[in-house]
Amino acid sequence: MCGTDTSSLTDYIENTLRTEYAFVRTLSDRAIGKTELYRKNTGEFLVKITSYHRNDHVFRLLRGKALQSLPKIYEVASAQDALTVLEEYVDGNTLAEVLENGTLPTGRAVSIALDLCAALKELHTRNIIHRDLKPDNIIIRPDGHAVLIDFGVARLTSDKKRGDTMNLGTIGYAAPEQFGISQSDPTTDIYALGVVLNEMLLGVHPTIDMPKRRLGRIINRCVTTQISKRYPSVQDLEKALSSVSHQR
């Protein structure tokens, strides 16, 4: 599908979904938008996102690109009342579902964390902050690789604002700056990844307990409330995690 950013493109998408696809189920329905799953007559699945948050620019930067550990964005259509996005369906279980069966072995947890680093590198090099990295937004594919989904509250980095204007993100995974203390930046995602890694390893938030030795020091640096003391980039975090992986 392709076209210009007009309401006619939105109409075209709706007509195509109506004639060539069957509605399967609603994946999520929140104040900022709705995510629905469709199945094409030939069997392929497709995700339709209706967003009221209007971070159109984020989806446009990702449209049409095959990026590591991220779903492909097929089409983006802006209308007056909402943004419509067609996105690749990623098969698998959420990390939250996986963790219902207990914590993960260290090597497995680090491997997933490295996949998430790859996803964040793709976003951060395009000046995009995800801002809602959590187990529910991570799909573990049948081959074991992790994919980061849901760009609903993602935004472009900006040096012009002193603080986030809206409290977006998920409590427990959102960094302190996401609650208006200061402006979120790429280290905001690093904070969340540290929390997720700790949860994969121990099943609890880092404020309750952290692993010993090297991994504990890595997580502690990710989740410090002082932004300047976190890893300055996801590449630095990836390097630290890779050293742990190679030691095993």
Angle subtended at Cα 59 by Cα 56 and Cα 60, rounded to the nearest 5 degrees: 85
**Catalytic choice (5, 56, 115, 132):** 132
| 164 tagged catalytic | no
- CA distances (Å), origin 34, targets 50, 177, 190, 193, 230: 5, 26, 27, 25, 34
Which 8-state DSSP code applies to residue 71? P
Task: Record the tokens describing residue 186, joined without a space.
Answer: 């790429």
Bridge partner list, 149: none
Cα–Cα distance for residue pair 212/114, rounded to 1 Å = 19
- Which residues are catalytically annotated? 132
